[in-house]
Amino acid sequence: MVKRDRLLAVMLWLPWALIVLDLLLVLFLLYKLFSTWSSLDFLGRGGTIFVILCLLFALPKTVRSVLKEGGTRQWKRVEALRMNPQKASLYQVQPEVAETTLVLPAVLRVRLSGAIYLGFMVLWLLVAGVGLFAGGSSLGNGLFLLLWMALGGMIIGLTGVLMYQRIEITEQALVVQKGLKRRKMPWGQARLFAALRVLDRKGMPVLYELSSASMLLRWNAFYPPGFGFVTYPPGKAAYEQLLAELLAYTHARTDLPLLDLR
């Protein structure tokens, strides 16, 4: 038995929560629009109506997505196979246990590049400047700029944290850090080794998983696209080679086959 995936519960209730939130926002904005109509200028009325129309436009798509439940059904299927791994098939390409140049401890790391942070903050500052200019305020409004830049820093900082991944391979354990959450699993505790692709049953896996009775480790199975990321080791070939060696070493240390949960 392996640890259950708590993300499944989020997948079940989150879409419905978004629908309720959408409806509540529409009702609140309609109330504010009618109660303050006489005091609003042209931009205020137009902006509020535009936001309401956007929320109403997004609502049918969200409802159709919930009713279709494609992602939810796939999560349920994956969870059922996780709980009964004997029913899962082997992944078509098993990791090859052969002589390797892997030097331990080995580390794979992905993070946002400095150019993304700088570009976002420059754009964020330009938006603030345009807003102050359009609103008739001067750029000397220090408090607004300070709060605006603080909000931008929080947004890009949180994005950077969410995008961060670090994998460390040692003789004793596998350590996976995603964001601020860092987990360490000794090799001897592993009970499930699998490849996942939750949002699409076809194609290459997007995640690999190593699970024990009390812990679940998942990591991205692909080299990050675009210039917005910095990896260690640098370069696609070196990164993917070390990722393949991680799979082979995991297979060798746990003696677990790589299962296909796609």
pLDDT of residue 44: 73
* Residues in the chain, overall count: 262
Distance of CA 32 to the CA centre of its chain: 35
74-109+164-260 folds as PH-domain like (2.30.29)
Residue boundaries of the structural domains of the chain = 7-68, 74-109+164-260, 114-162
CA distance linking residue 127 with residue 139, whole number of Å: 12
Q: What is the DSSP letter of 182?
A: E
For the chain, which ranges sit under pLDDT 70?
Answer: 7-15, 62-72, 97-100, 130-142, 198-204
Residue with tokens 């961060």: 164
pLDDT of residue 64: 66
pLDDT digits (tens, 9 = 90+) for 119-140: 999 988 887 776 666 555 554 5
pTM: 0.73
pLDDT of residue 36: 81
Residues 210, 185 contacting (CB under 8 angstroms) = yes
pLDDT of residue 199: 58
pLDDT of residue 139: 47
Q: Are strands 192-196 and 259-260 parallel, antiparallel or unpaired?
A: parallel
Q: Is the dihedral of CA 186, 190, 197, 71 positive or negative?
A: negative
